[in-house]
Each structure stands twice: as C-alpha cells, then as structure tokens.
C-alpha cells in the first residue's frame, strides 16, 4: 500500500517536472529582466566551423568585457544553420541577434521576424551609417526599413596560379582584361602535361559557381532591376550568358562537370590543376603551401561587375529589450568588422591587411578595386523559390549544355515573371 502511494507521487512528481521543463523553454529564449542593474543576456546565433567559432567566442568575450548592460551568449550552429534557426524562431526560442545571409533578409523581414532597427540606427551617435558601402547596406534593408548591420561583404575576385603563367610564358592577368582576353588565355593554359592523351590542366573552372550574375551584369544586363523587374531576357543579359556558355562548352578550357563535382571546384585550383579561379575575397586560395597565387579583379565586359557575398547581423522582433539588443548588435557587428574580411565599411578598407595579415598585396588591391561595383542579390520575399527556379531552368541546363542561352533566358524570364505575378 505505502509503496504504491510512493510510486504514484513519484510518477506525478516526474510528470510535473517534465511538463514544467517543457514549458519553461518558452520564456528562456530572450533576454530576461534588465532590472536592478543585472546584465541582460543576449543570445547570438552564428554559423562557422570549430576554429571560426573559437575565434568568434574570443571576440564575444572581448565585447562582453566592455559592455555594461548586456552579456552576449554565443550559440554556434555549425550545420543546417537555417533549418535550426527557423525551428528556433517557430518555437519561440529565437536568438536575440543572429547572422543572416543577404538572400534571406527579405524573406525574414516580410514575415515580421526581424527587429526594425531604422530608428535606433538613425538616432545612434556612435554609429556612422555613411561609412558603410551602399550595396551591403541595401541588402540589410527591406522596404524602407533597416533590419540589420552588414558584417561581411566579399567581392568575387580572380585568383591565378603564377607558376602556370610563368611556365606558359604568359604575362599575369590585370585589370585591363576583358572576356575575349580571358577566354584566349584560358584556352592556352589548358593542356595535357604528361602526354597521356588526357587533359590534366585547365585554364578555368565553373560549375554553377561562379554565379552567372558576373557575366550577365558585366555585359550591362541583370536578372532583375533594382525594382525587381525581370530583365534576364534583355539582349545584354543574353550576351553575358552566351559568353559563359562559350566558356563552358566551346572553349574546352573548363574540366568536365563530373570531374569538378567529385574533385571539388576550389580543390582543383589548390591542387594546381586549374589556372584561374573566381573566389570570395576571404577564401584561403592565396595561402596554399607550395602554390604561388596572386589575384586581380574579374575580367570586364562592357561594364565592370562582380558578385558580392554579404551577410548581416540582425535582431529578433521578439527580443525582450530592443534597446539593449540593438546596442549588442551594433557592438558585436563592429567587433566582427575588425576580425573578418572584408568589412563592409569604407574606413576599414585600407586596413584589410591589419585584420588579415595573411592576405597578399595583389588580393587586397583586387578587393579594394572591386568593392565599389560588387553587387549582392536583389532580394525577394521568396528568394529561395526564385533561386530554385533559376537553377532548374537556367543554370542547370546551361551547365549541362541543354539549350541555347537565348532559349533558356527567355523561358526562365517568363517563369520568373509568372512566379512574381502570382506571389504579389
């Protein structure tokens, strides 16, 4: 009898514990009680590998030391970042501040998940918005509101293997190159070095990266205008796609798609099998052992253009203390500017080598030159669906050689217009 009663009470005790443990999650999400001089906890979600996370943790510790009213707690999310983030937000345990890549900003902002920081930023004497490059700032803006501060802005530049150029007796690429010159040299660098009848050195490589944007925009075209109008089927855009198509399928200067897929796009360059590579500004391509690599800007068409990979730190709309969260967001972002390259602010462009001493002069020059014209994504609330649509109808078939650039561009443009019209 007694034992039974004990068991019953134990059962309910456990049940109670379980239920409270589950429900308490709801409130633990964001910064509790700023009262009585206690520091507000600001949860900060970020992606990154183990090494990067350790560096970021050190940075967070530094920021926390100088902060008087908050304490940032880092939540590293090494894999499946957006799946995890989406689940946390849906479950009301959103981190107070978090990384958000440019293509997700309109999607999150339109769903009212992000804190509008326009007022805070405008009234913040300690913040100089004018110091930011326009393009990164544009990608953290949705409608007329600012939803975050960019922490990185990496223009795509062209890395090249100097040994390969020396061997072929070709002068190094520079900022005067256009696509014709580029194609010509890429063909010259492509060869069978050991005479086994199979190519083992290529001039260039592409498999969906680098983004087709680069070619399209350099010929004066684009996927969308800044107002979101589809211009993918304009003659300029088609011209750009035709150049990319020729590089992929006519010149023979690019490895087979399957070879690239399995040996790795950048890995082939690092292994010294590819002469020229378009990479992000902070890639480690120019510090590979036994490989001398320099960089310059990507070749020009009728205009100068390159892709810009941008990410921001944003805040959750549900954060408990927006004022303090904004402060933490600003301090954290500014700290990151001095840690990661390329900082999206003009005042630090000359300090790239102080931030990242391993970056060679030529790469730094290429970055500086690219920054003013490097463009990010236009941004749409359903960017992911647009990206799938573009991949399925344009990029994928273009890489496989199924269809002419003109056909593909026209078909894709039609589908994009239809999609946008249906989702307005």
Residues that bind other proteins (CB under 8 A): 4, 7-8, 10-11, 14-15, 18, 22, 82-83, 86-87, 89-90, 107-108, 111-113, 256-259, 261-262, 382, 384-385, 388, 392, 396-397, 400
> Minimum distance from CB of 59 to other proteins (Å)?
29
What is the rounded distance in angstroms from the CA atom of residue 89 to the CA atom of residue 251? Answer: 48
Tell me which H or E stretch contains 279: strand 276-279
> Minimum distance from CB of 196 to other proteins (Å)?
13
> Minimum distance from CB of 79 to other proteins (Å)?
11
What is the rounded distance in angstroms from the CA atom of residue 234 to the CA atom of residue 230? Answer: 9
> Minimum distance from CB of 314 to other proteins (Å)?
13
CB-nearer residue toward other proteins: 111 or 287: 111
CB-nearer residue toward other proteins: 89 or 332: 89
What is the rounded distance in angstroms from the CA atom of residue 248 to the CA atom of residue 243? Answer: 9
> Minimum distance from CB of 52 to other proteins (Å)?
22
Tell me which H or E stretch contains 260: helix 257-263
CB-nearer residue toward other proteins: 26 or 388: 388
> Minimum distance from CB of 227 to other proteins (Å)?
23
Q: Could you give the 3-state DSSP secondary structure of residue 380?
A: coil
CB-nearer residue toward other proteins: 116 or 135: 116
Q: Which two tokens stand for residue 301?
A: 């068409």
> Minimum distance from CB of 299 to other proteins (Å)?
27
Q: Could you give the 3-state DSSP secondary structure of residue 334?
A: helix
324 contact partners, CB below 8 Å, separation of at least 6 = 31, 34, 40, 42, 69, 70
CB-nearer residue toward other proteins: 54 or 256: 256
> Minimum distance from CB of 161 to other proteins (Å)?
21
What is the rounded distance in angstroms from the CA atom of residue 29 to the CA atom of residue 57? Answer: 20
CB-nearer residue toward other proteins: 235 or 401: 401
CB-nearer residue toward other proteins: 66 or 198: 198
31 closest CA partner among 82, 97, 85: 97
163 within 8 A of 291, measured Cβ to Cβ: yes
Residue 322: count other Cβ atoms within 10 Å of its Cβ: 20
CB-nearer residue toward other proteins: 374 or 390: 390
Residue 144 is given by DSSP the state T
Tell me which H or E stretch contains 43: strand 40-46
Residue 322 dihedral angles phi and psi, to the nearest 5° = -55, -40
Q: Could you give the 3-state DSSP secondary structure of residue 220?
A: coil
- In 316-400, beta strands by DSSP E: 374-375
Residue 391: count other Cβ atoms within 10 Å of its Cβ: 15
To which residue do tokens 């992911």 refer?
384
> Minimum distance from CB of 338 to other proteins (Å)?
33
CB-nearer residue toward other proteins: 83 or 347: 83
């Amino acid at each position: 009898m007694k034992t039974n009663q004990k068991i019953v009470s134990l059962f309910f005790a456990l049940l109670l514990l379980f239920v409270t443990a589950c429900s308490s999650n709801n409130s633990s999400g964001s910064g509790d009680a700023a009262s009585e001089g206690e520091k507000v906890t600001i949860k900060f979600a970020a992606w990154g590998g183990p090494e990067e996370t350790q560096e970021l943790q050190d940075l967070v510790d530094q920021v926390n030391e100088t902060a008087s009213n908050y304490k940032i707690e880092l939540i590293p999310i090494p894999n499946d970042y957006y799946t995890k983030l989406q689940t946390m937000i849906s479950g009301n345990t959103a981190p107070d501040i978090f990384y958000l890549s440019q293509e997700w900003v309109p999607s999150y902002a339109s769903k009212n998940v992000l804190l509008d920081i326009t007022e805070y930023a405008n009234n913040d004497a300690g913040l100089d918005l004018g110091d930011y490059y326009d393009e990164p700032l544009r990608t953290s803006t949705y409608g007329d509101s600012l939803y975050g501060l960019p922490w990185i802005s990496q223009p795509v530049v062209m890395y090249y293997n100097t040994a390969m150029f020396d061997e072929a007796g070709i002068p190094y690429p520079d900022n005067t190159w256009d696509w014709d010159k580029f194609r010509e040299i890429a063909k010259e660098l492509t060869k069978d070095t050991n005479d086994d009848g199979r190519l083992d050195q290529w001039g260039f490589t592409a498999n969906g990266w680098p983004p087709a944007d680069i070619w399209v925009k350099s010929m004066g075209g684009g996927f969308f205008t800044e107002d979101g109008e589809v211009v993918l089927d304009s003659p300029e855009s088609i011209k750009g796609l035709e150049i990319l198509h020729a590089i992929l399928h006519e010149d023979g200067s690019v490895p087979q798609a399957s070879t690239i897929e399995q040996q790795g796009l950048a890995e082939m360059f690092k292994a010294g099998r590819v002469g020229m590579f378009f990479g992000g500004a902070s890639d480690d391509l120019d510090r590979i052992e036994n490989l001398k690599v320099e960089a310059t800007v990507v070749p020009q068409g009728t205009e100068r253009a390159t892709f810009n990979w941008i990410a921001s730190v944003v805040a959750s709309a549900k954060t408990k203390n927006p004022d303090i969260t904004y402060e933490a967001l600003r301090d954290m972002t500014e700290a990151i500017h001095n840690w990661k390259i390329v900082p999206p602010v003009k005042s630090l462009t000359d300090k790239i080598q102080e931030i990242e001493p391993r970056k060679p002069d030529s790469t730094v020059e290429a970055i500086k030159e690219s920054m003013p014209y490097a463009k990010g994504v236009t941004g749409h609330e359903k960017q992911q669906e647009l990206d799938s649509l573009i991949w399925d109808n344009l990029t994928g078939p273009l890489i496989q050689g199924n269809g002419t650039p003109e056909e593909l561009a026209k078909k894709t443009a039609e589908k994009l217009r239809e999609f946008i019209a249906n989702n307005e």
